[in-house]
Structures are given as C-alpha cells and as structure tokens.
Structure 1
C-alpha cells in the first residue's frame, strides 16, 4: 500500500511516545522516509532505527531535513523549536490523529474508545483477527506481549485502532465499526467539565460511517445512552443487563487464577469464550472484541480461540517475576474505576496470599478531583504504598500530593512515601511469602517492580 503524499517524508516530534512510535512503524513498513526527535533515548528507537528511521536526541530546528509534514501530539508545546521552525518554513503540521487517519484510508476501520479498557480491547481484537489470519493493520497505546509491537502494517484490508478521547482527537476518525467500552468523566484538565467529556463521545458516535456498527457496553449507563441517541447506524450491546435481539448477554463469568471464561447468549446460541487475563472487566472487553471481529468478517470459533490465546499487553497486569514465594506484577491503572477493577482481579489471582499495591497517582488535576475515589479503590488491597504525584504534562498544585489519597484510605495498611528511592526497601519490608505485589499507575512507578524483585532476592541471599 502506498504512503499518503503528505507523509512521504514525515518528521515526528516525540517519536519515542506510544502513539508516535506506532505511526513511525507503519510509515517505515510502507517505505516512507521517517525522521524524528525526542528529549531522551528510548527502547523503541532500536527497532525504528533498524528499520531506517533517522532519530535525533534533543529537539532543534536543524533536525528538520525537508519533510513533507511534521507530526505532533497535543503534548508538544508551541515553543518547541522544531514545531516553531516548521511553521516558519510553511511545512504542514499534522496532529498524530490526523496522520493516523491518513494511514487508515483504503481500509475497513474499527476504532475502540472508552474511558477504561480501550487498550486491552483493541489488543484483544487485533490478536483475535491475527489468529483468524486476517493480518490487520493496527495502532495501539501499548505493546502486545505476543509481538512486542504497538503497531503494524498488515495486508488484510482491516485497520484496528485505539481511539483516544483525552484531547478529543478521536474525532478525526470515521470508522465503520466503533466500540465504546464505557464513559466516565476523566481528562477534565482538557475537557473542563464532565458534561463536555460526555459530549465528545456523542460527537465520536456521529463519526461512525452511515450504516456502520456501534458496539457499547449495555451495563454502562453513559455508554448505553450513546447507543440510544445513535442515528443512521446499527447498534449491538454487550453485558449482563442487555436483552435485545442482537445483543451479547453475559450469562456467567468464571474466574481462575490466570484468567477465566465468559459464557454469553448471542444470536440464539450460547458461546463460551476463554479469557487468558484475569478479571470480569477483561471478560467484558473480550466480548466487545468478539462482536467487532464478527462484524469484520471473522469466524466466531476462530475469534474465541484467539481471545483464549491473548497474552496481554505490556503494563496491563504484566507479570514481572517471582522472588521466593512472592509474585510481582505491574499495571497501568490510573483512574479509580480502573484501580478498583484491577484490584478485584488481583485479589482472585492472589489466592490465599495478601495483596500489596504500590500506587503512583498520575496528574495533579486527577488526584485532586478523585482523591476520595482513589482511596476507596485502594482500600481493596491489604497494604498500600502511595507515592507522590507523577505530574506528566502538569505543573504542581499547592497541597496536591499523594498524601491527599493516603490520608483517606481506610481498612488497609497505608504508607505514604514521598521519596521515590525509599519505596523499594519499604515494599520489600511489607511483603510476606505468598503475597502478590502490584506496582500501579501511568508514570515511572513501572520501574520499581524489577527493583523490588532484586531487593527481595538480595535479602534472601544475604
């Protein structure tokens, strides 16, 4: 497949990011000339450079070598020297979503949206379609454990993409199949109000191509309301509460330590779908992926087998290792609903052992808005270590620290630790044989799992 003319020589600012590196992978597979820059080196660069990308560390105007377009994300500020130089030289500037939309052209497109679960659902659908040998192109906000990749240029004529609502950029896409897993106010630093956040999903549904399919979780009130308002498209719901003729009704979910099975009623038949990752929320994601795969022409049996073989996504309850009789996992959950859902799944996976969570709040605005809800969710663990806030794109706010959450947690052992370098020995002190420890959050807390394992091994050998 040819490269869109605008992207024949693309320069990606922040090329190491999850979204940007995925676009670069697809462009390189289509033989485009790709250059890019980032503030620091990244493991993603090894593959991109091997495929022919020219990547500079540090962002300077001279990094622009005659590109046909400069691609940016919302995180790139107007003061960025490369962005400023592109505008001065009249080089077209595209948002990441606009570039991805260009790459989708000529494909049958499935977009997965929702406050929670979109990365996992997109990944499940991708792996299930691959299992059916349909070779979809895909762009996901995380790395598949099967391939280690977050994007791929396929030959199957299908494009599966995670649709990010955080900055409203998913309104660039016009899918023929859209999934909305749930709608719960988030990213209010961008959208401003819960009402504005919900409204952007309404606009997204309007982007579905006429006659296309919208798939929503009928158990989620706001997602179900989207389906009620949809016009000119077909709708299928999934969940425990749905009763429509074309809905997928969940009859039973059975959990195991490593996953589970979900039994559904669909089109007059009962279907059992194995799920290789734990948690009923993941089982619901699998049902959404099944419905999308059916719409894309894949056989039910093949999709079910693919879902059963799904090995997960990096940072989605990712097993990091074992030290003695202690298991350590890492998870990306950074919203109260995600934290609660994942800890319920962790509780089952822990068996008779205790659950220890090392949690790092993400964004000052989210921490301030949802401090009480985070505390309630984290109380599902036996011991909680709360770190300070990972600010990411935000500046610190007076009085907004991890203590805002820790002080509200009841029913669990609580430890607020503001010093990052003291978390590893503290976590190692807390765990006992048989425990399951999970590091959780969207920031650099992910670094701590291997360090905790190393500390536990060191103590065992001392």
Structure 2
C-alpha cells in the first residue's frame, strides 16, 4: 500500500498512550494535522497530547472510528479483535502499525537508529541531545520523555531523523538506517523470538538493511553484537573490556555516584576524541556503555568532541530511568526505574548500591508479562536478591493471558528458599497494599526504588503525595 503522508489530514491512533504512539501523535500535531485516538486508560502522556489539541477517548469502541479518517495507526499491543481496528478494516481506511509509520517517515531522511535489548532510550536521548547541541537539528522519536524537551519527540527541520528501534516482533525491520547503533543482544521477548537464535537471526537481517555506505555502531563487549560486525559493510565499535574504536579508560566513580572516564579513540578519523575526559551525572557502568554508543555515533556524524562532552556532562537522565521522584514525609528518597528484564534490574540495582553505599535499599518490583516471568524466573530471583528489602506485587499482564500459571509469589518463594536474607522477600498482591506496607516500614534516610514496565511507579507517587 502506497501512502503519501503529506496528503493525510486526519489520523486516529489506537493505543495513543503508548510511548512511541504518543511521540508519533506529537509529530502529526506539530505538522498541523488533526489527531484523534483512544486508550484503555488516561495517563501523563495522554494528558500532554490533550493539551496540544488531540481528541482522545478512554476505551476502545467501534463508533470512535468514522469513515472521514485518512489513516489509522495502531500499536501491536492490541488484539486483532480490537473493535476500532475491525471497523477500520470494514471502512477500508489506510492502516499502519506504529513502526510501519516510523519506517515510512524515515525513508527520505538520513536515518540514525538505536537498537538492542537494553539502554535504547537513554542512548537515543544522549545522542539526540548531542545532535541538537551540534546544530544538526534532528527529528527524534524516543521511548521515554527527555527532560530537556519535556517530551518523547523533537521536531527538527534537517535531513536527520533519530529513532529508537524496537526489536519486538521485528519492528526494527521497518527501518533502513544510515547509521545503526546496537547496544546489546541477548535472550529477550521469547514469546516472539522463542530463543536467542531467533533474536540473532532478526538482528542479522536488521544489520543487512543498513544503507550502502552506512555504519553499524556496535558494543564489542557483548559477544552477540560482536557476531553482527561480520555482516556490516562498515563497523565502528565501542566498549570497556575489549579493544574497540572507542574505549572508556580510567573510570572513576565519585562519592555522589557520578562517573568520569578517559576516552581512548583509535584511528586518524577519530583522533580529536582521543584522551578526552567525559563526565556523567547519571550513575552506573551501564550508562558509560550508553554514553559510548552515543559518542561513537556523534563522532561518525562529525560532531566536535567538546560538544559531545558538554551535552553528556549536562545530561540528567530520562523519565523512568533511575529517576529521582522526591521524598516521603519521613525523609526517605523515592526513585523509579523502568527495568523489567534481569539484566536491566541487575545493572540498576548495582548502580544504586554503588551510589547509596550506606543507605538501606527497598525495592518494589512489578514483573512485566507472564511469559517473561516464567522464562527468567531463576534470573529474576538472583538479581532481585540484591535489594535489602524486597516487595513483589502481582504481574502486569499487558497483552498476555497466564498460560504458564506463574505468579509473583513464585519469584518470592524462590528467593526466600534459595538465599539467606536478613529480611525475607514479601509478596503483596496490589500496588495500594504495597504502598501501605512501605509507608509503615520505610524510614528516614532509606531509599525506595520502584521498578517495572507496568505501574509500580504508582507506589512511589502515593507515598510522595
């Protein structure tokens, strides 16, 4: 189907509250288009869109979609039996998934993508801010809200388009990038890929779609991304442990958890970057990796190293990524993190333990998806055991039914059986009950980290309010 987006005047988004859906809705609003949409419930992203003029319904109903819409955009999180999607088919309205739309928008642009199982949003944010400071004026779609833009979208007026590229259901195959940053590759989304072999196959195809003369920018410390380099016409690498084109050396962690490192850059092309000191306000080794990916991408784009240094030194993190939310009345600090895979959780909790060496760390974790909880049960138990005090609430089902008969109680039982903890892990079904438990037990000077891709953040919000 050929779709001329310039002729589209009125668009309907099914699942408009999704992070990339709302970014695309912002794009059309910024172009003066009429935007309508729906979602199961309201939230901060929807509230922002309404302020910009979008008409949004709560709940999905067939009567919401009428024949005068030029395009329907939908998230793959909805089912095929969604009443709005079904009526759009009946009315023969043009339809695109969100990533089909983003791929279409990128066709005539110099396209930069950031892919990988972890760190996509932060790396995209870092690179987007560097590109902005370098006056490259990119259009940016990112899977989180960037504080500097107060948005998950930036409208640019140049040839550059930067987008986070999601691997789930091969969504990133809608792109044909000029520059593809890949942070990492491991077993994830096994409800779709089935196993690591399936994920590797999709990533190899993605690398094959890099445009002629384009670059793969890959984390050489991840053994699976190393395999992808063989299939690239031109590759630039970064890392900490292995020899790379861009390496972080002499890493120092300050008392407040921030870090700095000396950059070793190989080759004449990147010699301006060699031996430069980079400082980060965001904690953790994983954020050094995110920064290295952004630095390598910026260097290929011709950004001066001083510009990248300043942008990264001022970067204060993004929405729902080790985000400081506030204090309780008793003086305890509240943080929130989107981490929902064992690798992400471990990286965040180790960074938190490094930053808050003397403070007791509480974690309220809401597992995301029955399938993921089942597939990584042992790994979840291992990494969540890092928390001093741990509460698990019921699994956030999202798009799934509980075929595995798994529950958060299974994770808690495994932790308490396998590890000798001072404070046993606790299962509390609801977020409200968890908030009540934490309110009674969290003390001044202690740290609470809410974690998960669902609604765990609501516990922190309730305690602060």
Please give the range of the TM-score, normalised by the shorter of the 2 chains.
Answer: over 0.9
Match in the other structure for 1:152: 154
Partner of 1:431: 442
Q: Deviations over 1:212-245 (max 9, x none)?
A: 1111111100011111x224x211111123325x
Residue aligning to 1:54: 55
Q: Which aligned runs of 4 or more in structure 1 are off by greater than 4 angstroms?
A: none
Structure 2 residue 417 is the aligned partner of structure 1 residue 380: no
Give the corresponding residue for 2:313: 308
**Structure-1 separation of matches of 2:50 and 2:90:** 28
Matched, 1:400 2:406: yes
Matched with 1:168 is: 170
How much has 1:85 moved relative to structure 2? 1.3
For residue 6 of structure 1, report the CA deviation from its aligned partner. 6.0
- The equivalent of 2:31 in structure 1 is 30
Provide the secondary structure at the position in 2 that maps to 1:403: helix
Give the Cα separation in 2 of the matches to 1:230 and 1:252. Answer: 32
**138-147 or 40-49: bigger deviation:** 40-49
* 1:460 aligned residue: none
Question: Which residue in 1 is equivalent to 2:452?
Answer: 441
**Pairwise CA RMSD of aligned residues?**
1.9
- Which residue number corresponds to residue 203 of structure 1? 205
Q: Are the counterparts in 1 of residues 374 and 404 from structure 2 also a CA contact under 8 Å?
A: no
Query: Secondary structure of 2:414's partner?
Result: coil
Q: Which is worse superposed, 323-332 or 164-173?
A: 323-332
In the TM superposition, residue 362 of structure 1 has moved relative to its aligned partner by 0.8
Which of the residues 277, 287, 292 maps onto 1:282?
287
Q: Give the whole-Å Cα distance in 2 for the aligned partners of 1:363 and 1:58.
A: 21
CA displacement at 1:397 relative to structure 2: 3.7
> Does structure 2 conserve the Cα–Cα contact (< 8 Å) formed by 1:330 and 1:440?
yes
1:123-162 → structure 2 map (5 Å cutoff): 123-162=125-164
Shift of the alpha carbon at 1:411?
Answer: 4.3
1:417 aligned onto 2:419: no
> Map of 1:294-373 to 2, 5 A cutoff?
294-323=299-328, 324-373=330-379
SS, match of residue 427 in structure 1:
helix
CA distance in 1, matches of 2:445, 2:43: 35
The CA distance in 2 between the partners of 1:108 and 1:265, in whole Å, is 28
Aligned residues: 449
In 2, the alpha carbon distance for the partners of 1:251 and 1:210 equals 33
Sort the Cα spacing of 1:6 and 1:12 in 2 relative to 1 into closer, same or farther, 3 A: farther
2:247 alignment counterpart: 249
SS class of match (2:402): coil
SS of match in other structure, 1:434: coil
Counterpart residue number, 1:259: 258
Contact in 2 for aligned 1:132/1:306 (Cα 8 Å): no
Change (3 A) 1:42 1:357: closer
Show structure 2 runs of 5+ residues with no match: none
Kept after mapping to 1: 8 A contact 2:35/2:54 = yes
CA distance in 1, matches of 2:205, 2:298: 24
Structure 1's unaligned 5+ residue stretches are 455-462
Q: Which whole-Å CA distance do the structure 2 matches of 1:49 and 1:363 have between them?
A: 29
Matches of 1:142 and 1:48, distance apart in 2:
15
Per-residue deviation at 1:252? 2.5
